[in-house]
Amino acid sequence: MVVATSGTSKIEQSAITDSMTTEITLTPTIPIAPEDFKSGFIALMGRPNVGKSTLMNQLVGQKIAITSPIAQTTRNRLRGIFTTDQAQIIFVDTPGIHKPHHELGKILVKNARSTVGAVDVVVFIVDGSVPLGKGDLFIADFLKKTESNVILGVNKIDQRPDGKPHILQSYQDLADENQWQLQEFSALNGDRLETLQTRLIDTLEIGPYYYPPDLVTDQPERFIIAELIREQILMHTRQEVPHSVAIVIEQIKEAPELTEVRAAINVERSSQKGILIGKKGSMLKNIGTAARQQIQKLIVGKVYLELFVKVQPKWRQSRASLAELGYQIED
């Protein structure tokens, strides 16, 4: 497996306790860093659907965050770990900052904003294919108050129309006004990401390894599997069941040649349950097949995935239901 729960961080500022569970049998070792080694925590922040998760997957070299064309796909503060011989960067992918319309949205936005004061650098990601907008200015006003270094990351340069220099200029003016560095790139095709990586490492201070060099995320196996299932639901149902879905991994049975996963898909309405199941179970079968193929990339041996759908009315509005499903305000 490529995931684990070992390691500590500046963000948590606490030791791993016995109450935390681990889903690997061997504890990776954390080496002693060379004298000139750099390390630190870098938050990826921006409006929904500007490419934060795609960027983190590219930077760590492996898919650990789900992506979809639907805004607000990311719900949890997910850490991706990128290690070279010179540095270790812990990227913190945050939910897109937006005006919340329910209790879940309030929790997501509050968690995203609380991340800023606990990291060394913030990459403020914007959609470089369109000019600066009101949503970007809202986040910029918030970031003006932070003591963390800010890099304005202008993404989607591969989608920028030709002959539109005013688009980049709108972001350059914002960067100049706040004395932020500006870096253009394409998270989709990787263009100029090496330059971004170099700039990020240059902003970090001398520090230790926080995680074993071979890890790419600190999230447990169950979390990654649940997210891969939710990604396929978003991809297959699009606007029909947008964000009313929460996945709970109820059981994982591991054997040398087969891993059995049983997962519950929680929705808010019976009509959504019908959409997810589909005619004669066709939709649920398609979702399960696609999710299993993604999970198979993480797990040695074959994967058997069993999905079923539960109706839990208005779970996004209930603090108790949100806590039960794993959504809580983070310190």
Number of domains in the chain: 2
* Res 23 pLDDT > 50: no
CB 155 within 8 A of CB 125: yes
Question: Are 79 and 161 within one domain?
Answer: yes
Place 227 in a pLDDT band, splitting at 50, 70 and 90.
Answer: confident
Domain end call among 150, 172, 206? 206
Whether residue 107 sits in one domain with residue 160: yes
Residue 213 lies in a domain: no
The CB-based long-range contact list for 23-28 (8 Å cut-off, 24+ gap) reads: 23/220, 23/221, 23/222, 28/4, 28/211, 28/212, 28/214, 28/215
Burial of 28 (C-beta count, 10 Å sphere; 0-12/13-18/19+): middle
- Spatial separation of the C-alpha atoms in residues 195 and 153, rounded to whole Å: 11
Say if 216 falls within a structural domain: no
Per-residue model confidence as pLDDT tens digits over 264-298:
988 888 888 898 899 999 999 999 999 998 888 77
214 domain residue, yes or no = no
Range(s) of the domain holding residue 148: 38-206
The verdict on 252 and 179 lying in the same domain is no
Q: Look up the CATH number of the domain holding residue 313.
A: 3.30.300.20
pLDDT confidence of residue 29: 78
Question: Given this model, what pLDDT does residue 125 score?
Answer: 96
**Residue 252 placed within a domain:** yes
Final residue before a domain boundary, out of 179, 206, 233: 206
pLDDT band at 61 (very low <50, low <70, confident <90, very high): confident
**Model confidence over 84-108: pLDDT tens digits?**
999 999 998 776 664 554 555 565 5
As a whole number, mean pLDDT of residues 43-63 equals 87
Judging by beta carbons within 10 Å of its beta carbon (0-12, 13-18, 19+), is residue 322 exposed, middle or buried?
buried
Number of Cβ atoms within 10 Å of the Cβ of 313: 11
pLDDT tens digits for range 133-168? 998 998 898 888 888 899 999 999 999 998 888 999
Are 138 and 259 within one domain? no
Q: Which CATH number does the domain housing residue 129 bear? A: 3.40.50.300
Tokens representing 140? Answer: 């910029």
Is residue 12 one of the residues assigned to a domain? Answer: no
Same domain, 59 and 188: yes
Give the chain's mean pLDDT.
79
Indicate whether 198 and 73 sit together in one domain. yes
Task: Say if pTM beats, i.e. exceeds, 0.75.
Answer: no
In a domain, 146, yes or no: yes
Same-domain pairing of 85 and 185? yes
Amino acid 96: pLDDT: 61
Q: Does any domain span residue 3?
A: no
State whether 89 and 192 are in the same domain. yes
The whole-number pLDDT of residue 235 equals 84
The answer to whether position 17 is within a domain reads no
Residues 195 and 225 in one domain: no
Same domain membership, residue 156 and residue 181:
yes
Which of 177, 206, 235 is the last residue before a domain boundary? 206
CB 222 within 8 A of CB 254: no
Q: What is the total residue count of the chain?
A: 331
Considering the domain architecture, whether residues 196 and 226 belong to the same structural domain is answered as: no
Co-location of 60 and 136 in the same domain: yes
